């Protein structure tokens, strides 16, 4: 009996020794994370904390630019059209400001003329997934399909084949989803300035949007705004003009990635 017990214990020990060392890491790699940060104040940059900083660096992702340069990167999430994107595009054109618009499948289906205008006027169109799912809850293949559906439809509408930037739906991500997206050719773009602006039945006026932006603004800020917000559309012109007067310069995500050395071949862009 003692001999049998010894054999069983030895077998169990051998099994533990020979298990792949990465098993635990693989299981944890899809642990969902919700993007968040300490807001910027008085010109100081927002701070996502060491853990997020390391994860983003490991996967080539970004959420802000150089703290010593008064550059701003304006981005919009476009889940659906609510009648304000045309006004936003008019303002950007008048002020000669570049932006990035992260679109979903619904937006591509319902507002293709606006997507075409974005591209024609030199704005970046980013990928926000087709169905806006929690990417951590779907397989690698489904993630790739979500992204490819957006890319291919954007190409059909705009003629532009390449899509470079991804913003994860709901700000939920994992190391697995970041790795899958990177393998598909995408750079994750998070943000360092945002506020609750997407509730269309709880708009509070242009001054609210203006104040939320101006109190958080900082060098290298990546702004996340939603085009469904009337407040944002009404405040945007004044925000841009006042920030220009403060010495800020609006730049594109391509400029941001170039500054970080994140483009493999800048001549392609």
Which residues are known catalytic residues? 77, 226
Q: Which residues does 118 contact at the CB level (< 8 Å), separation at least 6?
A: 89, 101, 125, 158
Find out whether 212 and 186 touch, Cβ atoms under 8 Å: no
- Measured CA to CA, the distance from residue 17 to residue 243 in angstroms comes to 60
Q: Which residues does 235 contact at the CB level (< 8 Å), separation at least 6?
A: 206, 207, 209, 210, 213
For residue 101, count other CB atoms closer than 10 A to its CB. Answer: 23
- Measured CA to CA, the distance from residue 149 to residue 111 in angstroms comes to 16
- Measured CA to CA, the distance from residue 9 to residue 15 in angstroms comes to 10
Find out whether 193 and 221 touch, Cβ atoms under 8 Å: yes
Burial class of 175 by CB neighbour count within 10 A (0 to 12, 13 to 18, 19+):
middle
Find out whether 125 and 158 touch, Cβ atoms under 8 Å: yes
- Measured CA to CA, the distance from residue 90 to residue 80 in angstroms comes to 18
Pairing of strands 71-78, 249-251: parallel
């Amino acid at each position: 009996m003692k001999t049998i017990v010894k054999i069983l214990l030895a077998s169990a020990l051998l099994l533990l020794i020979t298990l792949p060392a990465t098993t635990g890491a693989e299981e944890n790699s899809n642990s969902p994370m919700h993007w968040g940060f300490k807001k910027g104040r008085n010109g100081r940059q927002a701070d996502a904390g060491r853990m997020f900083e390391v994860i983003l660096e490991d996967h080539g992702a970004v959420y802000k630019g150089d703290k010593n340069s008064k550059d701003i990167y304006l981005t919009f999430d476009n889940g659906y059209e609510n009648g304000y994107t045309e006004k936003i595009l008019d303002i950007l054109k008048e002020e000669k400001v570049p932006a990035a618009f992260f679109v979903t499948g619904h937006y591509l289906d319902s507002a293709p003329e606006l997507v075409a205008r974005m591209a024609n006027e030199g704005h970046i169109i980013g990928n926000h997934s087709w169905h806006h799912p929690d990417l951590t809850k779907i397989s690698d293949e489904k993630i790739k399909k979500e992204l490819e559906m957006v890319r291919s439809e954007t190409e059909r509408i705009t003629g532009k084949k390449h899509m470079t930037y991804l913003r994860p739906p709901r700000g939920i991500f994992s190391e697995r989803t970041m790795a899958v997206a990177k393998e598909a050719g995408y750079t994750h773009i998070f943000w360092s300035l945002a506020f609750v602006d997407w509730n269309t039945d709880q708009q509070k006026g242009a001054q609210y949007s203006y104040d939320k932006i101006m109190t958080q603004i900082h060098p290298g800020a990546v702004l996340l705004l939603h085009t469904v917000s009337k407040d944002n559309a009404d405040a945007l012109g004044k925000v841009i003009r006042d920030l220009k007067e403060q010495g800020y310069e609006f730049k594109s995500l391509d400029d941001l990635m170039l500054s970080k050395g994140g483009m493999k071949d800048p001549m392609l862009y």
